[in-house]
Structure 1
Amino acid sequence: MATAAQVKALIKSHAAGDDDQFYAVALQMAAREARSGHAGYAQQLRDLIDASKGRVPRPGPTPVASPRGDLAALLSVEYPEQRLSDLSLDNDVLSLLRRVLLEQRQRDRLRATGFAPQRRLLLVGPPGTGKTLTAKVLAGELHLPLFTVRLEGLITKFMGETAAKLRLIFDQVAEIAGVYLFDEVDALAGARGLSNDVGEIRRVLNSFLQFLEQDVSDSVIVATSNLPEHLDRALYRRFDATLDYPMPTGAIAKQVIRARLASLDLRAVDWRGVSTAAKGLSHSEVTAAAEQAAKDSILAGTLQVRTDFLVEALRWRNRSDSPPE
């Protein structure tokens, strides 16, 4: 049978005229029936949904209203347009992301046979290596809203309030399908054995782990961490996959620069010198250096990016956050 949350979400989406959300909730109900062993009833629901979709024009995803009330301080929403082609990452990470997208697009087929698609991802690695952009790409590829959890609004000095706010967020995760980003999740999921740990902090972590485990929605949950060694080990077991984001190699740095400066002439660039200068920089730092070199070239009266401008900008990023004079 449908849960109370699903019935409420169904009524809300119908009242708001939100067909996309209405069908998403209905498909969640069908998947729940399939998991409960009611395969015939689940198939009837899916057939009704498919037949109804065929009669209703659906030009694209209906925007979800901005979070209101208490949720307004906890979540921000956007509708990313980024695609997988916007990511410059190593092949292992890209392969896993393609697998996640495939399983999400075929989730009804998987659930009809008792399997669940990957939908909880933990992304770890240094700052600026593409973790937040990955969440945007997942939302863009799946045509879902991206909800970013505002940790500054979530974590209060009253830990009981934090757990209650977490419940509000996971209630929405169940009701409104989307990609939910817990950026820098270390604040919620630090290791319980740390010396400054207190009982209330442990209870918040336990609540977070419990909500993750109990969630069976169609939403995708993405958590990121710059300090994976500080995360509680139990957190890893709650995620379907952990993706490691390393600093870019010379080849990846070249991809980042080419993608950002695609509108300019890069034929004269000495890529060996550029790769050497980019060593040790993150994706975002390489992007910032490429933009600086492009502006320098344009101000010098040419659309051909000069290698010396690019190398100088990269070297400055390695020294400090200040652009070259």
Structure 2
Amino acid sequence: MSETVSANDDIIELVQSHADGDDKKFYVIAMQIAAKAARLGHTQFAQELRDLVTELRRKTHHEAQLATIKTRGELESFATISYPDVRFNSMTLSPDNQKQLYNVVVEQHQRDKLMLYNLRPIQQLLFAGPSGTGKTLAAKALAGELNLPLISVRLDMPIGDTATKLRSIIDISQETRGVYLFNEVDAITADGGEARQAINLLLQFVEDDYLNNLIIVATNHPQSFGYATLRRFDQVIKFELPSGDEIRSVIENRLAVFTPMKASWEPIVAAADGLSHADLAVAATNAVKRAVLNGKIGKSAGDFEEWTEYLCYELEERKRYCNTDCEGQT
């Protein structure tokens, strides 16, 4: 009887704390209910309740962080915050990239152990490589593996008061541990004046941040960075265009169950040579849509042959589009 009365009191307190908007008290009572349930042998219920409270705390924290950016109206188009669910096992990575990224996660997870010996985990990364090779996706995966928010800052916006906005991001970083991705840095490295002030501020942030954040700067043109700049980063990770088995892996990951078991991969890989991960994904999606609409997703040899032709055609089209686009920019 006393246990029932106690449980009823807990529920009333829980509801009252929610009505009062007292999140801290709400979490405490919920965890107390879980602890009592565990002592009574209701272990599964107790664990499910703990998991729910943990997830609710994470979402509440996420909303508070998102509100911080939204309340600073000038940052809404400049920075976004998210909790990616991407993991390394859903990506196609070269052996070198896989080893480098996993090492970052290991050091971050064991940062306390390193600090005992006055050592600092990898915190400042430069992602270098052509557009579409997975730099942004890798940043999302790092955030997902570390269960941290990803604060993505766009530097390809009109310069305006970029330096002021960067200072606002730095202020946020003092309060919010996360993965900070500074994308399209090439947009400001080529200019002078205020752009130079902005890049100097960014590099100073990279060098001085000791607040457990992971800082990632992404560039398509690493050659624009001199040695003095590169040495500010703990590690430079180069992302290359996929080739051979990587091409097949990217396409298979994109298509999943639609991947033909007997596709002729040799002409597909040849047609895909020189395309980025993003281009391969677009071509593969277009090909499978054509196959579906034309009824060529069966098991006959003819279907496999036509499906291969669809994919090769889409890959060649994508290559022509990319070449035309590049020529237009020169």
Q: TM-score, normalised by structure 1?
A: 0.74
2:280 is the alignment partner of 1:280: no
User: What aligned pairs does 1:202-217 form with structure 2 within 5 A after superposition?
Assistant: 202-217=196-211
How far did residue 146 of structure 1 move? 1.1
Alpha-carbon distance in structure 2 between the residues aligned to 1:308 and 1:18? 62
Give the greater-gyration-radius structure (CA).
2
Output the amino acid matched with 2:295: G
Compare the two structures and name the one with the higher helix fraction.
Answer: 2
Q: State the 1:265 CA deviation.
A: 4.2
Q: 1:265 to 1:252 in 2, by over 3 A?
A: closer
Partner of 1:314: 315
**Which amino acid in structure 1 is aligned with residue 165 of structure 2?**
K
Secondary structure, aligned partner of 1:262? helix
Partner of 1:181: 181
Task: Give, as a single letter, the amino acid of the residue that structure 2 aligns with 1:59.
Answer: E
What is the distance in 2 between the residues matched to 1:19 and 1:89? 43
Aligned residue number for residue 140 of structure 1: 144
Match of 1:58 in 2: 54
Tell me the percent identity: 37
* Corresponding residue of 1:149: 153
- Change in Cα spacing, 1:287 to 1:101, as seen in structure 2 (3 Å) is same
Work out whether residues 156 and 184 of structure 2, in 8 Å CA contact, stay in contact via their aligned partners in 1. Answer: no
Whether 1:121 aligns to 2:125 is yes
1:79 aligns with 2:83: yes
- SS of the equivalent of 2:258 reads coil
Deviates more, 1:73-82 or 1:125-134: 73-82
Q: Which moved more, 1:303-312 or 1:247-256?
A: 303-312
The answer on 1:296 being equivalent to 2:290 is yes
1:111 aligned to which of 109, 115, 129: 115
1:196-232 per-position Cα deviation (integer Å, ceiling 9, x unaligned):
644x544333322222222101111111111111234
Most deviating of 234-243 and 92-101 = 234-243
The alpha-carbon deviation at position 253 of structure 1 amounts to 0.6
Q: 2:259 & 2:166 partners in 1: Cα distance?
A: 49
Q: How does 1:188-207 map to 2 (within 5 A)?
A: 188-190=188-190, 197-198=192-193, 200-207=194-201
With the length of structure 2 as denominator, give the TM-score of the two structures. 0.73
Residues 1:90 and 2:94 aligned together: yes
SS in 2 for 1:274: helix
Q: Which protein, 1 or 2, shows the higher relative CO under an 8 Å CA cutoff with sep ≥ 6?
A: 1
Q: Which runs of 5+ in 1 are unaligned?
A: 1-14, 21-53, 191-195
| 8 Å contact from structure 2 (residues 156, 187) kept in 1 | no
SS at match of 1:263: helix
Q: How big is the shift at 1:96?
A: 0.3
1:72, distance to aligned residue in structure 2 (A): 3.1
Q: Distance in 2 between matches of 1:133 and 1:250?
A: 21
- Per-residue CA deviations over 1:89-129 (Å, capped at 9, x if unaligned) read 21001100010011111112222321111121111111110
For the residue of structure 1 that corresponds to 2:257, the secondary structure is coil
- Is 1:258 the counterpart of 2:252? The answer is yes
The code of the aligned residue for 2:97 comes to V
**Distance in 2 of aligned mates of 1:175 and 1:189:** 28
Mind listing any 5+ residue stretches in structure 2 that lack a counterpart?
1-21, 28-49, 299-303, 324-330
Letter in 2 for 1:169: I
Query: What is the SS of the residue equivalent to 2:247?
Result: helix
